[in-house]
Amino acid sequence: MTAVSTPGVEAAPYTVEEVCEHFDPVMGLEVHVELNTATKMFCGCANAFGAEPNTNICPVCLGLPGSLPRVNGAAVESAIKIGLALNCRVRERSGFARKNYFYPDMPKNFQISQYEDPIVFDGYLDVPLDDGGTWRVEIERAHMEEDTGKSLHVGGATGRIHGADYSLLDYNRSGVPLIEIVTKPIVGARDRAPMVARAYVTALRDILRGLGVSDVRMDQGSMRCDANVSLTPKGSPVFGTRTETKNVNSLRSVERAVRYEMGRQAGVLLSGGTVRQETRHFDEQSGTTSPGRAKETLADYRYFPEPDLPPLEPGSAWVESLRAGLPERPWERRARIQTEWSLSDEELRDLVNANALDLVADTVEAGAPPEAARSWWVSYLLQQANKREVTLPELSITPAQVARVIALVAEGTLTNKLARQVVDGVLEGEGDPDEVVAGRGLAVVSDESALTAAVDEALAAQPAVAEKIRAGKTKAAGAIVGAVMKATRGQADAARVQELVLERCR
Amino acid sequence: MSDMISLDAAELARRIHAREVSSVEVTRAHLQRIEAVDGPSDGSAGPDGVHAFLHVDADGALAAAEAADRAIAEGGPVSPLAGVPVALKDNLTTTDMPTTCASRILDGWRPPYDATVVARLRAAGLVPLGKTNLDEFAMGSSTENSAFGPTRNPWDLTRVPGGSGGGSSASVAAGEAPLALGSDTGGSIRQPGAVTGTVGVKPTYGTVSRYGLVAFSSSLDQIGPCARSVLDAALLHEVVGGHDRCDQTSVNAPLPPVVEAALAGARGDLAGVRVGVVGELSGEGYQPGVLAAFTDAVRTLGELGAEVVEVSCPSFSYALPAYYLIAPSEASSNLARFDAMRYGLRVGDDGERSTDEVMSLTREAGFGAEVKRRIMIGTHALSAGSYDALYGKAQKARTLIVRDFTAAFETCDVLVSPTTPTTAFAIGERVDDPLAMYLADLCTIPANLAGNAALSVPCGTSPDDGLPVGLQVMAPALADDRAYRVAAAYETARSSTPDAAPRIPELRALETTR
Ligand SMILES: [Zn+2]
């Protein structure tokens, strides 16, 4: 009992398979998503990640006396789109509520949120699983709220507010629009529970990315997951006591956190203990969870309707127009693209893993043939991304620019080798492909008379080789072609040079 | 005493715009009056000073007056009140003056932004004189809950000027300012107006922006004008009113034509107007002299051609208890931000104590007893075990009060009542009896709960103590003009009667030199 209840880095005592011999796991997943609207939820400040502390602030998001919130319509639109993509119902009349508690990173000491009447509710998501199946996750609700500021506790051992020498507060994030998406209890997944959790968060991330409503960067905190886990003894009609694990900052961590909690709780229960209802923190390093600060009198947030904001009444015409504009679901789009481009499963997986699918699709959209588009993104551009330690979408080249490079190759203006130099120029910020071609002087030498002259010059310089070619040893042409390419600084079409060499020796 | 301090704002504006007198001269006259009768802003003159002001910005006022004079001299179009001085309740944010809400907890805070109403006053060329005293965070009915000492009623310096906006109404009554802005959550403009013999208007909820009004109870708070005449109030109302995108509870509709209504009403004809006397707002508990003055006023309305009928609003009996749950509930949340972390007072930050301890110590030291009482009531009313029985039930009562108003306005154009059950009471008389204090707002609270328009216009003095009495005129939401019309007609009729009170009290100039 002591051994298993001590927080630490030891592995959970039971595997999921062992857990499921005795218990059925029940999960609830709460995902917070920061919207990427231009401005904050209730004021006109920029919603931007990574600015100097306390630069994107105003009386409203600082909660100064006398200030009043005003709702960002773009955030409401994003919330409705998310709801529709999750097959939710949109409430005809919803409202904001105040959630009251004291914390220094929350400048009003209440958070404007939604309580009894979230804007969207009662939906589901059919989640594709790694094993080829699908799992329907039911959605309880998704609601809008404002993010808090960030505190940095300086000094002390824990990095938490207690024991710190002093704390710094950055309110740039204060008032950033958040959507909290809450599932209904996920039951019956048994030993697949950790995989289902990961697959759900993955699918949700893909959907949100497809909607373009959030950066969904778990590493930057624009998508955060809290995992509620409990174990029901087999045959029992009552759910067990749940824990809520926070700080789950990657897709892999979602799976690991659920797996660890299942094993840990089974250890507690099977040794005769009871699971405490508590908040736990996930540790990326060890893959374990540990209890949060114990103060657990149940918080009473004293929710009441936000008197500064009128009810939200999105008209059905607006909702229907948003529904009509929803993009394909990412996995449906993938299936379609796979068929249209005749990709193998492996090729498709490579594209998805490299974050390249949308980029390739957009490149094709911009006029490039699928094969060329795919090849550019997963080979040369992927190398460049790796070299620069960024992801493919972060490379400073657009699908339209890549499509233009491909077109320049197809029309013979560039060789593949020159095309790579053009791409380098674009990545270095030298402008569009045509500007780089002009700026670096990279176009293929296609002036036939100039090329012919160069060939003649090379043949004259190497009479012995010329003689061999004339005698039918066409392989010897390589030496002349090489000389011509060198003379034109690589800007000639080698195949055409080869043809010319043979022509001139006929 | 310069005659300029007894003139109406409309007359001052006329003279300033005709360049018979400059805004600087008018402003200087009011600053001198403040200097003479108000006492130091810390209230240390005691019963010798009105103490309407917490802060006077003489330099800023004179600069604004000069600017107004220049604009007028240049001959361009100026707003109807350009050049006229105005006092501001000290719960409105101002960039050039402190905003204290009469609380220690905002010690040292200088707002980085102007309230919408303040910005509109400045844009219209009015001249802000200073910030007026109030009950701390507008919680009170006597201005005795100010952390900086009570304001005194200019008609009797031993008595209260009402509250919470006692400073604004007293400044206007004492001739220290021709106009003032107040805020009315449960009667904080109208009740002080009544007991200081001035006009006070609570416009329809949402028709004057609350942006920059430090919130007490967000669903009830409403900014409005204080003046010595109905027309003056209407002129100020039109300057500050109208839609504001910074306040999402602001009504996106044209402001009712209140100036036009005040001018029309002053012609004295109320033929065809149906006036309902609310039965529930008189009788037992009301001072006989107040009822006598009220009865006279109703008779006058009849003589002006109005059809007077009795109406019943039975749910008004729930108004006071409902108000004292809803307002503290919202206040408990609104005042949570005063936590020593970002601005204002900070107590106990010795490098050892925790954040929670510093917050607690600061709130303990920074808030007065009444504010703490309401935070506790509100926190309790919203807590999980009490919400339905307290906050929830109060909201139901609110719905019933709205229905009573709706029904009454089906048969009446306006409703009338005394503004307060009694005249000004003595300073100290009710400080230890919150329930008695709360009764001062008995007649004014229903209009806040329902959100409709209401004003108080002077209706003479009570025969039993000679102190001012107010007539409350209530109108439907967005029909503020009706209340103005009736009040202006009444005001004109009354000003010709022999017992019309003197406009400005003869206050003895203070001899203190500081
Ligand atoms: Zn802001």
* Chain A interface, best mutation among B250, B382, B388, by max A CB count within 10 A: B382
Alpha carbon of B350: minimum distance to chain A alpha carbons (Å): 11
Give the residue on A whose Cα is nearest the Cα of B210: A66
Query: For the ranges A436-445, A459-468, B71-80, B477-486, which has the lowest average pLDDT?
Result: A436-445
Reported confidence tier of residue A446, pLDDT bands at 50, 70, 90: low
> Which of chain B's residues have a Cβ under 8 Å away from the Cβ of A308?
215, 218, 248-249
Residues of A in contact with B448 (CB under 8 A): none
User: Do residues A123 and A137 make contact, with C-beta atoms less than 8 angstroms apart?
Assistant: no
Q: Is B470 left (phi over 0), alpha (psi -120 to 50) or beta?
A: beta
- Asked if residue B482 has pLDDT above 70, the reply is yes
Q: Report whether pLDDT(A7) > 60.
A: no
User: Quick one: pLDDT at residue A124?
Assistant: 97
Secondary structure, 3-state, A304-368: EECCCCCCECCCHHHHHHHHHCCCCCHHHHHHHHHHHHCCCHHHHHHHHHCCCHHHHHHHHHCCC
CA of A248 to the centre of ligand 1 (A): 28
With contacts defined as CB-CB under 8 Å, which chain A residues touch B248? Answer: 68-71, 308-310
d(CA A63, CA A67): 6
Q: Number of A to B CB contacts under 8 A, please give it.
A: 103
Which of A122-136, A213-227, B256-270 holds the top average pLDDT?
B256-270
Distance A176 CA to ligand 1 centre (A): 9
Q: Which CATH number fits domain B2-317+399-512: 3.40.50.300, 3.90.1300.10, 3.30.70.20, 3.30.300.30?
A: 3.90.1300.10
Q: Does B219 contact A161 at a Cβ distance shorter than 8 Å?
A: no
Q: CB A66 to CB B213 under 8 A? A: yes
pLDDT of the residue at A444: 72
Q: CA of B79 to nearest chain A CA: how many angstroms apart?
A: 26
Q: Are A204 and A180 in contact (CB under 8 A)?
A: no
Q: What is the pLDDT of residues B40-64, one digit of tens each?
A: 888 888 888 999 999 999 999 999 9
Does the beta-carbon distance from B93 to A66 stay under 8 Å? yes
A residues 60-79 closer than 8 Å to B (CB): 62-71
Domains of chain A as residue ranges with CATH: 16-299 (no CATH), 328-429 (no CATH), 448-504 (1.10.10)
Known catalytic residue at B188: yes
Whether A109 and B383 lie within 8 Å, measured CB to CB: no
Residue B511 reports pLDDT greater than 80: no
- Is it the case that residue B469 has pLDDT exceeding 80? yes
Mean pLDDT of A129-149: 93
pLDDT tens digits along B192-215: 999 999 999 999 999 999 999 999
Confidence of residue A203 (pLDDT cuts 50, 70, 90): very high
Instruction: Inform me whether the pLDDT recorded for A8 exceeds 50.
Output: no
pLDDT confidence of residue A491: 75
CB contact under 8 A, B248 and A104: no
Q: Tell me which chain A residues have a C-beta less than 8 angstroms from the C-beta of B112.
A: 59, 64
Q: Please state, in angstroms and rounded to a whole number, the distance separating the CA atoms of residues B483 and B455.
A: 7
Q: What are the tens digits of pLDDT across the range A212-234?
A: 999 898 888 899 999 999 999 99
Per-residue pLDDT tens digits for A38-55 = 999 999 999 998 899 999
pLDDT computed for residue A295 by the predictor: 54
Is B164 known to be catalytic? yes
- What is the per-residue pLDDT for A297? 59
DSSP 8-state assignment for residue B201: E
Please name the helix (run of DSSP H) or strand (run of DSSP E) that holds residue A17, with its range, or none.
helix A16-22
pLDDT of residue A1: 34
pLDDT of residue B508: 77
pLDDT, residue A214, reads 94
- Give the model's confidence band at B31: pLDDT under 50 very low, under 70 low, under 90 confident, else very high: very high
- pLDDT tens per residue, range A314-366: 999 999 999 999 988 888 888 888 888 888 888 888 888 788 888 898 899 88
pLDDT above 90: residue A247: no
A70 Cα to the center of ligand 1, angstroms? 10
3-state secondary structure of A289: strand
| pLDDT of residue B514 exceeding 60 | no
Q: What is the mean pLDDT of residues A107-121?
A: 97
Residue A244 in contact with residue A228, Cβ under 8 Å?
yes
B502, pLDDT greater than 90:
no
Q: Do B336 and A100 make contact, defined as CB atoms within 8 angstroms? A: yes
Q: Which of A243-257, A412-426, B21-35 has the lowest mean pLDDT?
A: A412-426
More confident residue, A293 or B308: B308
By CB atoms closer than 10 A (0-12, 13-18, 19+), residue A496 is middle
- Position A72 pLDDT exceeds 70: yes
Is it the case that residue A468 has pLDDT exceeding 90? Answer: no
The pLDDT of residue A488 is 78
Of B318 and B513, the structure prediction assigns the larger pLDDT to: B318
Distance (Å, whole) CA B184 – CA B134:
11
- Ligand 1 centroid to B210 CA: how many Å? 18
Smallest Cα distance from B211 to chain A, Å = 6
The secondary element (H helix, E strand) that includes residue A400 is helix A399-410
Report the mean per-residue pLDDT for chain A: 89
So where are chain B's domains?
A: 2-317+399-512, 318-393
Q: How confident is the model at residue A376 (pLDDT cuts 50, 70, 90)?
A: very high
Q: If pLDDT is split at 50, 70 and 90, which confidence band does B244 have?
A: very high
| The pLDDT of residue A3 | 38
Q: What is the pLDDT of residues B300-323, one digit of tens each?
A: 999 999 999 999 999 999 999 999
**Spatial distance between the Cα atoms of A57 and B67, rounded to a whole number of angstroms:** 32
Residue B326 Cα, gap to closest chain A Cα (Å): 11
Q: Which of B22, B23, B79, B89 is catalytic?
A: B89
The phi, psi pair for A236, rounded to 5°, reads -80, 140
- Tokens linked to A270: 């099977």
A98: contact with B, CB 8 A cutoff: yes
- Mean of all residue pLDDT scores within chain B: 95
- Distance (Å, whole) CA A106 – CA A151: 10
Q: 3-state class of B52 per DSSP?
A: coil
* A222, A146 Cβ separation under 8 angstroms: no
